[in-house]
Amino acid sequence: MRSLQELIRPNIHALSMSADFFATSETRETGIRLDANENPYNAPFNRYPTDLERQFKALIAEIRGIPAEQITLANGSDELIDLSFRIFCRPQKDNAVAISPTYTMYQHYADLNETTYRAVILDERFALSARKVLDACDVRTKIIWLCSPNNPSGNSLEREEMLQVVTKFNGIVVVDEAYGDFAAQRSMRHEIATHPNLIVLNTLSHAWGNAAIRLGMAFAQRDIIDVFERVRPPHAINKLTLQQAIESIRDPYEVDKWVRMLLLERRRMLDALRELPICEAVYPTDANFILVRMTDAAAIYDYLLHKQIFVCMLIDTPLCTNCLRISIGTKSENNALLAALRQYY
Protein backbone atom coordinates (compact mmCIF):
# COMPACT_ATOMS: atom_id res chain seq x y z
CA MET A 1 0.00 0.00 0.00
CA ARG A 2 1.14 3.52 -0.75
CA SER A 3 1.52 5.69 2.34
CA LEU A 4 -1.57 7.54 3.50
CA GLN A 5 0.18 10.82 2.74
CA GLU A 6 0.61 9.70 -0.89
CA LEU A 7 -3.03 8.66 -1.18
CA ILE A 8 -4.64 11.72 0.38
CA ARG A 9 -5.07 14.85 -1.71
CA PRO A 10 -2.25 17.30 -0.82
CA ASN A 11 -4.63 20.07 0.27
CA ILE A 12 -6.48 17.64 2.54
CA HIS A 13 -3.24 16.42 4.08
CA ALA A 14 -2.24 20.03 4.74
CA LEU A 15 -5.34 20.73 6.78
CA SER A 16 -4.83 21.23 10.51
CA MET A 17 -7.55 21.13 13.10
CA SER A 18 -8.20 24.42 14.85
CA ALA A 19 -8.06 24.85 18.62
CA ASP A 20 -11.84 25.17 18.62
CA PHE A 21 -12.19 21.73 17.05
CA PHE A 22 -9.92 20.13 19.65
CA ALA A 23 -11.85 21.83 22.45
CA THR A 24 -15.19 20.47 21.27
CA SER A 25 -13.76 16.97 20.95
CA GLU A 26 -13.25 16.79 24.72
CA THR A 27 -15.87 15.48 27.14
CA ARG A 28 -18.11 18.41 28.14
CA GLU A 29 -20.86 16.72 30.14
CA THR A 30 -19.94 18.59 33.32
CA GLY A 31 -18.37 21.92 34.12
CA ILE A 32 -19.02 25.49 33.00
CA ARG A 33 -19.24 25.43 29.21
CA LEU A 34 -18.10 28.75 27.78
CA ASP A 35 -15.95 27.47 24.91
CA ALA A 36 -18.31 26.94 21.94
CA ASN A 37 -20.42 30.13 21.78
CA GLU A 38 -23.54 28.17 22.70
CA ASN A 39 -26.65 29.78 24.18
CA PRO A 40 -26.89 28.79 27.89
CA TYR A 41 -30.70 28.65 27.63
CA ASN A 42 -33.18 26.26 25.91
CA ALA A 43 -31.68 23.03 27.26
CA PRO A 44 -31.21 20.35 26.03
CA PHE A 45 -31.13 21.70 22.45
CA ASN A 46 -28.73 24.57 23.14
CA ARG A 47 -25.59 22.40 23.23
CA TYR A 48 -23.66 20.79 20.38
CA PRO A 49 -24.13 16.99 20.48
CA THR A 50 -20.47 15.93 20.84
CA ASP A 51 -21.11 13.81 23.93
CA LEU A 52 -24.01 11.96 22.27
CA GLU A 53 -21.80 11.06 19.32
CA ARG A 54 -19.25 9.64 21.71
CA GLN A 55 -21.97 7.60 23.43
CA PHE A 56 -23.23 6.19 20.14
CA LYS A 57 -19.73 5.25 18.99
CA ALA A 58 -19.10 3.41 22.27
CA LEU A 59 -22.33 1.43 21.89
CA ILE A 60 -21.90 0.55 18.20
CA ALA A 61 -18.23 -0.34 18.86
CA GLU A 62 -19.38 -3.01 21.31
CA ILE A 63 -21.99 -4.37 18.90
CA ARG A 64 -19.71 -4.40 15.85
CA GLY A 65 -16.52 -5.45 17.63
CA ILE A 66 -14.56 -2.41 16.40
CA PRO A 67 -12.77 0.11 18.68
CA ALA A 68 -14.64 3.42 18.92
CA GLU A 69 -11.61 5.34 17.62
CA GLN A 70 -11.91 3.35 14.36
CA ILE A 71 -15.44 4.63 13.66
CA THR A 72 -16.64 7.83 12.04
CA LEU A 73 -20.22 8.93 11.42
CA ALA A 74 -21.95 10.86 8.66
CA ASN A 75 -25.38 11.82 7.39
CA GLY A 76 -25.99 8.54 5.63
CA SER A 77 -23.47 6.37 3.80
CA ASP A 78 -23.85 8.67 0.80
CA GLU A 79 -21.99 11.42 2.66
CA LEU A 80 -19.18 8.97 3.41
CA ILE A 81 -18.98 8.10 -0.29
CA ASP A 82 -18.69 11.79 -1.15
CA LEU A 83 -16.08 12.36 1.58
CA SER A 84 -14.00 9.44 0.29
CA PHE A 85 -13.74 11.05 -3.14
CA ARG A 86 -12.98 14.45 -1.61
CA ILE A 87 -10.23 13.03 0.60
CA PHE A 88 -8.43 10.73 -1.83
CA CYS A 89 -9.17 11.77 -5.43
CA ARG A 90 -7.69 14.85 -7.07
CA PRO A 91 -10.30 16.33 -9.43
CA GLN A 92 -9.55 15.78 -13.14
CA LYS A 93 -6.44 13.72 -12.28
CA ASP A 94 -7.29 10.58 -10.33
CA ASN A 95 -9.70 7.74 -11.04
CA ALA A 96 -11.77 5.19 -9.15
CA VAL A 97 -12.66 1.61 -10.10
CA ALA A 98 -15.94 -0.12 -9.25
CA ILE A 99 -17.88 -3.20 -10.23
CA SER A 100 -20.96 -3.01 -12.44
CA PRO A 101 -23.82 -3.21 -11.85
CA THR A 102 -23.61 -1.70 -8.38
CA TYR A 103 -24.88 1.17 -6.26
CA THR A 104 -25.33 4.13 -8.60
CA MET A 105 -24.19 6.77 -6.10
CA TYR A 106 -20.52 5.76 -6.48
CA GLN A 107 -20.54 7.09 -10.03
CA HIS A 108 -22.72 10.04 -9.03
CA TYR A 109 -20.17 11.26 -6.49
CA ALA A 110 -17.27 10.47 -8.81
CA ASP A 111 -18.87 12.79 -11.37
CA LEU A 112 -19.51 15.48 -8.75
CA ASN A 113 -15.87 15.31 -7.69
CA GLU A 114 -14.54 15.27 -11.28
CA THR A 115 -13.03 11.82 -10.82
CA THR A 116 -12.86 9.36 -13.72
CA TYR A 117 -15.04 6.33 -12.96
CA ARG A 118 -14.08 2.92 -14.37
CA ALA A 119 -16.74 0.21 -14.25
CA VAL A 120 -15.75 -3.47 -14.37
CA ILE A 121 -18.66 -5.63 -15.52
CA LEU A 122 -19.40 -8.65 -13.32
CA ASP A 123 -20.05 -12.05 -14.90
CA GLU A 124 -23.55 -13.39 -15.59
CA ARG A 125 -23.77 -14.65 -11.98
CA PHE A 126 -22.79 -11.18 -10.71
CA ALA A 127 -19.55 -12.73 -9.40
CA LEU A 128 -16.45 -10.66 -8.62
CA SER A 129 -13.13 -11.27 -10.38
CA ALA A 130 -10.27 -9.71 -8.42
CA ARG A 131 -8.02 -10.00 -11.46
CA LYS A 132 -10.37 -7.98 -13.68
CA VAL A 133 -10.80 -5.28 -11.06
CA LEU A 134 -7.05 -4.97 -10.48
CA ASP A 135 -6.37 -4.97 -14.22
CA ALA A 136 -8.60 -1.89 -14.53
CA CYS A 137 -6.38 0.06 -12.12
CA ASP A 138 -3.38 2.22 -12.91
CA VAL A 139 -1.05 4.58 -11.02
CA ARG A 140 -3.83 7.17 -10.72
CA THR A 141 -6.43 4.80 -9.27
CA LYS A 142 -7.03 5.90 -5.69
CA ILE A 143 -10.18 3.98 -4.69
CA ILE A 144 -11.80 0.64 -5.52
CA TRP A 145 -15.52 0.37 -4.65
CA LEU A 146 -17.03 -3.00 -3.71
CA CYS A 147 -20.63 -3.39 -2.53
CA SER A 148 -21.39 -6.65 -0.70
CA PRO A 149 -24.15 -7.73 -0.66
CA ASN A 150 -24.28 -5.92 -3.94
CA ASN A 151 -27.06 -3.55 -4.98
CA PRO A 152 -29.01 -4.29 -7.21
CA SER A 153 -27.99 -7.94 -7.64
CA GLY A 154 -28.32 -8.85 -3.96
CA ASN A 155 -25.47 -11.38 -3.85
CA SER A 156 -22.50 -11.29 -1.49
CA LEU A 157 -19.24 -10.91 -3.37
CA GLU A 158 -16.80 -13.79 -2.93
CA ARG A 159 -14.83 -13.02 0.23
CA GLU A 160 -11.53 -14.43 -1.04
CA GLU A 161 -11.81 -12.32 -4.18
CA MET A 162 -12.42 -9.22 -2.08
CA LEU A 163 -9.42 -10.05 0.11
CA GLN A 164 -7.28 -10.39 -3.01
CA VAL A 165 -8.33 -6.91 -4.09
CA VAL A 166 -7.58 -5.44 -0.66
CA THR A 167 -4.23 -7.22 -0.39
CA LYS A 168 -2.92 -6.53 -3.90
CA PHE A 169 -4.18 -2.98 -4.47
CA ASN A 170 -1.90 -0.22 -3.18
CA GLY A 171 -4.70 2.31 -2.77
CA ILE A 172 -7.93 2.51 -0.77
CA VAL A 173 -10.58 -0.23 -0.97
CA VAL A 174 -14.06 0.67 0.25
CA VAL A 175 -16.42 -2.23 0.95
CA ASP A 176 -20.01 -1.06 1.33
CA GLU A 177 -21.87 -3.45 3.64
CA ALA A 178 -25.16 -1.56 3.80
CA TYR A 179 -27.02 -4.90 3.55
CA GLY A 180 -24.50 -7.00 5.46
CA ASP A 181 -26.86 -7.73 8.37
CA PHE A 182 -28.98 -9.88 6.03
CA ALA A 183 -26.03 -12.01 4.88
CA ALA A 184 -24.36 -15.02 6.48
CA GLN A 185 -20.91 -14.07 5.19
CA ARG A 186 -18.40 -12.76 7.77
CA SER A 187 -18.09 -8.98 7.64
CA MET A 188 -15.01 -7.45 6.05
CA ARG A 189 -14.72 -5.07 9.02
CA HIS A 190 -12.95 -7.92 10.82
CA GLU A 191 -10.08 -7.51 8.32
CA ILE A 192 -9.39 -3.88 9.20
CA ALA A 193 -6.72 -4.65 11.81
CA THR A 194 -4.48 -6.30 9.20
CA HIS A 195 -5.38 -4.14 6.18
CA PRO A 196 -4.62 -0.43 6.63
CA ASN A 197 -6.12 0.43 3.21
CA LEU A 198 -9.58 -0.98 3.97
CA ILE A 199 -12.68 1.10 4.74
CA VAL A 200 -16.00 -0.65 5.49
CA LEU A 201 -19.28 1.26 5.31
CA ASN A 202 -22.40 0.42 7.27
CA THR A 203 -25.74 2.12 7.96
CA LEU A 204 -28.73 2.13 10.31
CA SER A 205 -31.12 2.42 7.35
CA HIS A 206 -31.89 -1.19 6.49
CA ALA A 207 -31.64 -3.92 9.14
CA TRP A 208 -31.95 -1.38 11.93
CA GLY A 209 -35.07 0.19 10.42
CA ASN A 210 -33.84 3.79 10.73
CA ALA A 211 -33.70 5.08 7.16
CA ALA A 212 -35.41 8.31 8.27
CA ILE A 213 -32.53 9.46 10.50
CA ARG A 214 -29.85 9.12 7.77
CA LEU A 215 -26.94 7.82 9.84
CA GLY A 216 -23.99 6.12 8.16
CA MET A 217 -20.81 4.68 9.64
CA ALA A 218 -17.32 4.02 8.35
CA PHE A 219 -14.91 1.57 9.99
CA ALA A 220 -11.17 1.83 9.28
CA GLN A 221 -7.81 2.09 10.99
CA ARG A 222 -7.44 5.19 13.11
CA ASP A 223 -5.18 7.10 10.69
CA ILE A 224 -7.93 7.05 8.06
CA ILE A 225 -10.69 7.82 10.57
CA ASP A 226 -8.72 10.85 11.79
CA VAL A 227 -8.70 12.22 8.24
CA PHE A 228 -12.47 11.78 7.89
CA GLU A 229 -12.97 13.50 11.24
CA ARG A 230 -10.77 16.37 10.09
CA VAL A 231 -12.58 16.89 6.79
CA ARG A 232 -16.21 16.57 7.84
CA PRO A 233 -17.80 19.54 9.66
CA PRO A 234 -17.66 19.37 13.47
CA HIS A 235 -20.95 18.37 15.12
CA ALA A 236 -22.17 17.06 11.77
CA ILE A 237 -24.71 14.64 13.28
CA ASN A 238 -27.64 16.38 14.94
CA LYS A 239 -28.90 15.62 18.44
CA LEU A 240 -32.26 14.14 17.39
CA THR A 241 -30.56 11.69 15.02
CA LEU A 242 -28.11 10.60 17.71
CA GLN A 243 -30.83 10.22 20.33
CA GLN A 244 -32.84 7.95 18.05
CA ALA A 245 -29.71 6.02 17.03
CA ILE A 246 -28.72 5.40 20.67
CA GLU A 247 -32.26 4.34 21.56
CA SER A 248 -32.35 1.93 18.62
CA ILE A 249 -29.08 0.14 19.27
CA ARG A 250 -29.70 -0.31 22.99
CA ASP A 251 -31.94 -3.26 22.04
CA PRO A 252 -30.20 -5.18 19.24
CA TYR A 253 -32.38 -8.22 19.97
CA GLU A 254 -35.38 -6.39 18.49
CA VAL A 255 -33.37 -5.81 15.33
CA ASP A 256 -32.40 -9.48 15.27
CA LYS A 257 -36.11 -10.33 15.37
CA TRP A 258 -36.83 -8.03 12.41
CA VAL A 259 -33.98 -9.57 10.43
CA ARG A 260 -35.19 -13.12 11.14
CA MET A 261 -38.71 -12.21 9.97
CA LEU A 262 -37.37 -10.58 6.82
CA LEU A 263 -35.19 -13.60 6.05
CA LEU A 264 -38.19 -15.92 6.39
CA GLU A 265 -40.19 -13.68 4.07
CA ARG A 266 -37.26 -13.53 1.67
CA ARG A 267 -37.22 -17.31 1.37
CA ARG A 268 -40.98 -17.43 0.87
CA MET A 269 -40.86 -14.70 -1.78
CA LEU A 270 -38.02 -16.37 -3.66
CA ASP A 271 -40.02 -19.59 -3.90
CA ALA A 272 -43.27 -17.83 -4.84
CA LEU A 273 -41.71 -15.63 -7.52
CA ARG A 274 -40.01 -18.61 -9.16
CA GLU A 275 -43.43 -20.16 -9.72
CA LEU A 276 -44.75 -17.20 -11.70
CA PRO A 277 -44.64 -17.52 -15.52
CA ILE A 278 -43.88 -13.79 -15.87
CA CYS A 279 -40.65 -14.21 -13.85
CA GLU A 280 -37.96 -15.49 -16.19
CA ALA A 281 -35.19 -15.50 -13.57
CA VAL A 282 -35.15 -14.98 -9.82
CA TYR A 283 -31.61 -14.34 -8.62
CA PRO A 284 -30.16 -15.59 -5.31
CA THR A 285 -29.89 -12.81 -2.73
CA ASP A 286 -28.21 -12.08 0.59
CA ALA A 287 -29.95 -8.71 0.99
CA ASN A 288 -33.46 -7.55 1.90
CA PHE A 289 -34.46 -7.36 -1.76
CA ILE A 290 -34.75 -9.68 -4.76
CA LEU A 291 -33.69 -9.08 -8.35
CA VAL A 292 -36.13 -10.60 -10.84
CA ARG A 293 -35.92 -10.76 -14.64
CA MET A 294 -39.43 -10.35 -16.06
CA THR A 295 -41.07 -11.11 -19.39
CA ASP A 296 -41.78 -7.37 -19.78
CA ALA A 297 -40.40 -5.36 -16.85
CA ALA A 298 -41.63 -1.97 -18.08
CA ALA A 299 -45.21 -3.14 -18.58
CA ILE A 300 -45.29 -4.99 -15.27
CA TYR A 301 -43.81 -1.97 -13.48
CA ASP A 302 -46.56 0.26 -14.91
CA TYR A 303 -49.20 -2.33 -13.97
CA LEU A 304 -47.96 -2.43 -10.36
CA LEU A 305 -47.72 1.34 -10.25
CA HIS A 306 -51.40 1.56 -11.22
CA LYS A 307 -52.15 -0.69 -8.23
CA GLN A 308 -50.07 1.58 -5.94
CA ILE A 309 -47.37 -1.08 -5.53
CA PHE A 310 -43.92 0.43 -5.95
CA VAL A 311 -40.88 -1.55 -7.06
CA CYS A 312 -37.61 -0.48 -8.70
CA MET A 313 -37.20 -0.83 -12.48
CA LEU A 314 -33.68 -1.53 -13.79
CA ILE A 315 -34.19 -1.99 -17.52
CA ASP A 316 -31.11 0.08 -18.48
CA THR A 317 -28.73 -1.25 -15.82
CA PRO A 318 -25.85 -3.49 -17.06
CA LEU A 319 -26.71 -7.21 -16.71
CA CYS A 320 -30.16 -6.23 -15.43
CA THR A 321 -32.05 -5.70 -18.67
CA ASN A 322 -35.76 -6.30 -18.15
CA CYS A 323 -35.35 -6.62 -14.37
CA LEU A 324 -37.24 -5.39 -11.33
CA ARG A 325 -35.73 -5.05 -7.87
CA ILE A 326 -38.28 -5.90 -5.18
CA SER A 327 -37.77 -5.06 -1.51
CA ILE A 328 -38.97 -7.51 1.13
CA GLY A 329 -41.94 -5.99 2.96
CA THR A 330 -44.28 -7.26 5.63
CA LYS A 331 -46.12 -10.50 5.00
CA SER A 332 -49.28 -8.64 4.02
CA GLU A 333 -47.38 -6.30 1.67
CA ASN A 334 -45.64 -9.25 0.04
CA ASN A 335 -48.97 -11.07 -0.33
CA ALA A 336 -50.46 -8.02 -2.06
CA LEU A 337 -47.56 -7.97 -4.52
CA LEU A 338 -47.86 -11.68 -5.25
CA ALA A 339 -51.62 -11.42 -5.74
CA ALA A 340 -51.15 -8.60 -8.23
CA LEU A 341 -48.45 -10.48 -10.16
CA ARG A 342 -50.58 -13.62 -10.33
CA GLN A 343 -53.39 -11.57 -11.86
CA TYR A 344 -51.14 -10.01 -14.51
CA TYR A 345 -51.51 -11.25 -18.10
Are 209 and 116 in the same domain? yes
> Helix 77-88 and helix 105-112: axis angle, to 10°?
40
Q: What is the pLDDT of residues 223-263, one digit of tens each?
A: 999 999 999 988 899 999 999 999 999 988 899 999 999 99
Residues 235 and 143 in one domain: yes
What domain range is 43 assigned to?
Answer: 4-250
Check whether residue 176 and residue 266 sit in a common domain: no
- Are residue 323 and residue 241 in the same domain, yes or no? no
Write down the pLDDT at residue 27: 58
End of a domain among 191, 216, 250? Answer: 250
Regarding whether 12 and 98 lie in a shared domain, the answer is yes
Q: Where would I find the beta strands (DSSP E) of the chain?
A: 71-74, 95-100, 116-121, 141-147, 172-176, 198-203, 216-219, 279-282, 289-294, 312-313, 323-327
Give the model's pLDDT for residue 92. Answer: 98
Q: Do 215 and 329 belong to one domain?
A: no
Claim to verify: residue 80 and residue 186 sit in the same structural domain: yes
Q: Edge-to-edge strands of the sheet including 141-147?
A: 71-74, 216-219, 198-203, 172-176, 141-147, 95-100, 116-121
Show which of 250, 276, 291 is a domain's final residue. Answer: 250
CATH number of 134's domain: 3.40.640.10
The CATH number that applies at residue 262 is: 3.90.1150.10
For residue 13, the model assigns a pLDDT of 87
Flag residues of the chain having pLDDT under 50: 16-25
Same domain (yes/no): 10, 88:
yes
- Report pTM: 0.94
Question: In terms of domains, do 227 and 99 share one?
Answer: yes
| Model pLDDT, residue 178 | 98
pLDDT tens for each residue of 78-112: 999 999 999 999 999 999 999 999 999 999 999 99
181 and 285, same domain (yes or no): no
Judge if 57 and 193 occupy the same domain.
Answer: yes
- Whether 260 and 174 map to the same domain: the answer is no
Q: For position 22, what pLDDT does the model report?
A: 43
Domains in the chain, number: 2
Name the domain boundary from 224, 250, 276: 250
